[in-house]
Amino acid sequence: MRRRVRSEGGGHDEPSMTAPLLLVYINAALLLQLAIGVGIWLWRRRSVGTVTPVAAPPGVVPVSSAAWPGWRGFRVVRREFEDRAQTQCSFHLEPVDGAPLPPFKAGQFLTFSLRVADADAAAAGAQRTITRCYSLSDRPQPGSYRVTIKRVTPPSGRADLPPGASSGHFHDRVREGDVLQVKAPSGHFFIDPDLAVPAVLIAGGIGITPMMSMLRWCLAEQPGRIVHLYYGLRNGDEHAFKQVLEELAAAHPAFHLNVVYSRPGANDVLGRDYHAGGHVDVELLRRTLPHGRHQFYVCGPVAMMESLVPALAAWGVPRPDIHFEAFGPASVRIEPAGPGEDAAALAAPVEVHFHRSGRTLAWDGQDASLLDFAERHGVEVDSGCRSGSCGTCETRLVSGSVRYAHAPDHDVTSGHCLLCVGTPASALVLEA
């Protein structure tokens, strides 16, 4: 039987509903809801409770069985600018072999081997191979990775120098369809999965990339976890991921976004485009963070790292709660080195012998690293990231011992050392 029901909005034919039929519908709806709830619960348990600190999204095999040794071909499937000035470009990468990707820990990076034009011999069309690291800028996905690369210009007042070799190559030459050689995700800068401790992500400029990965991972896998993002940059032109960050902040009450412009432009509006003027510093954190324990993650330009990281420690943040990564050479010191150690190094120059090049030189403490020391004296050694991440400058340590200001990201092979972040702790014989 059908009965005509007329509402104010117009007429609709609807089936008549008996009481037993209504009961059947209600029970079916309740059962469906229960099944969906159990499904979600099981999925979350599987994701959060994996053995690695970062959960594997469905479809991604565990890292131990899938991380690849050496280089693997990845095709660029999409590229897109993330800021108004078009200085920061994302590259989406898929493995050429089509095999599954290992999950990574949110905050880790990829290492690229690139054939780039040799600036010194550009006219002759010569090329050279360089190695560079780029943080993954999205959470783990089953089939693709994303990195976001900022174009690097010569230092101010040095227009005579060539621009950044790798970043320029990515921006000017790498196109959709190109294949790049990539090492598996690595690095020790990643988010602690303890959801009971709020995370404070502090990014300066392009340091936003590992934070995007951490943030997106938290929001997807730990939606209740409190996350504060402090993002410091000059102005709206270089404000990367602006729309997506604002949308995430609006959709997730546990996510607190703080954008800080140091030199706002004429069209930048406080309260609309950014939340505070100046720099991200401890004073701002003190004013805006609630009391209690937080895990701090810092990535940004050298000046920010060298001031903010020690300032956090001086503020009383316990050392294990401060995590940081520099994208280049930065000498971040949290605890002062033992006075005896430094005094000994300065008082007694040590001999460093470079075996392959047959040079013996006196280390006088002038250089920040053995790599700078070698280059200053014309000893040719390979190098890549200059921050202990990519392993290109790894050299066999024939004798002696090397000191690191803090543990390098790269897992150094036993009996070897990294020149770019190492200094002599005794007289050295190096294979290089």
> Rule CB under 6 A: which residues touch ligand FAD?
109, 132-135, 147-150, 152, 154-155, 161-168, 187, 206, 209, 325, 327-328, 385, 387, 389
Cβ 420 to ligand FAD, closest distance in Å?
10
- What is the nearest approach in angstroms of ligand FAD to the Cβ of residue 189? 7
HEC string of the chain? CEEEEEECCEEEEEECCCHHHHHHHHHHHHHHHHHHHHHHHHHHHHHHCCCCCCCCCCCCCCHHHHCCCCCEEEEEEEEEECCCCCCEEEEEEEECCCCCCCCCCCCCEEEEEEEEECHHHHHHCCEEEEEEEEEECCCCCCCCEEEEEECCCCCCCCCCCCCCHHHHHHHHCCCCCCEEEEEEEECCCCCCCCCCCCEEEEEEHHHHHHHHHHHHHHHHHCCCCCEEEEEEECCHHHCCCHHHHHHHHHHCCCEEEEEEECCCCCCCCECCCECEECCCCHHHHHHHCCCCCCEEEEEECHHHHHHHHHHHHHHCCCHHHEEEEECCCCCCCCCCCCHHHHHHHHHCCEEEEECCCCEEEEECCCCCCHHHHHHHCCCCCCCCCCCCCCCCCEEEEEECCEEECCCCCCCCCCCEEECCCEEECCCEEECC
CB neighbourhood size of 32 (10 A): 10
- Least Å distance between CB 151 and ligand FAD? 8
Residue 8 CB, nearest approach to ligand FAD (Å): 58
Task: Compute the least distance from the CB of residue 343 to ligand FAD, in Å.
Answer: 31
Closer residue to ligand FAD, CB minimum distance, 213 or 352 = 213
Nearer to ligand FAD, 255 or 327 (CB): 327
Q: Which is nearer to ligand FAD, 37 or 162 (CB)?
A: 162
Least Å distance between CB 215 and ligand FAD? 14
Which residue, 110 or 226, has its beta carbon nearer to ligand FAD? 110
Rounded to the nearest whole angstrom, what is the least distance from the CB of residue 139 to ligand FAD in the complex? 15
* CB nearer to ligand FAD: pick between 39 and 154: 154
Q: Looking at beta carbons only, is 129 or 401 nearer to ligand FAD?
A: 129
CB of 409 to ligand FAD, least distance (A): 6
Structure tokens at 415: 């009996």
- Closer residue to ligand FAD in complex, CB, 199/299: 299
Report the 10 Å Cβ neighbour count for 270. Answer: 11
Q: 327 or 350: whose CB is closer to ligand FAD?
A: 327
Rounded distance, CA 56 to CA 69, Å? Answer: 20
Of 90 and 235, which has the nearer Cβ to ligand FAD?
90
Q: In whole angstroms, how close is the CB of 254 to ligand FAD at the nearest point?
A: 25
Cβ-based nearer residue to ligand FAD, 107 or 424: 107
Output the smallest distance, CB 81 to ligand FAD, in A: 13
Kindly calculate the radius of gyration of the chain based on its CA atoms and give it in whole angstroms: 26
Residue 165: which H helix or E strand, with range?
helix 165-172
Point out the residue whose Cβ comes nearest to ligand FAD. 164
**Whose Cβ is closer to ligand FAD: residue 185's or residue 236's?**
185
Helix (H, G, I), strand (E, B) or coil at 147: strand
What is the smallest separation between the CB atom of 145 and ligand FAD, expressed in angstroms? 12
CA angle 181, 186, 187 (to 5 degrees): 135
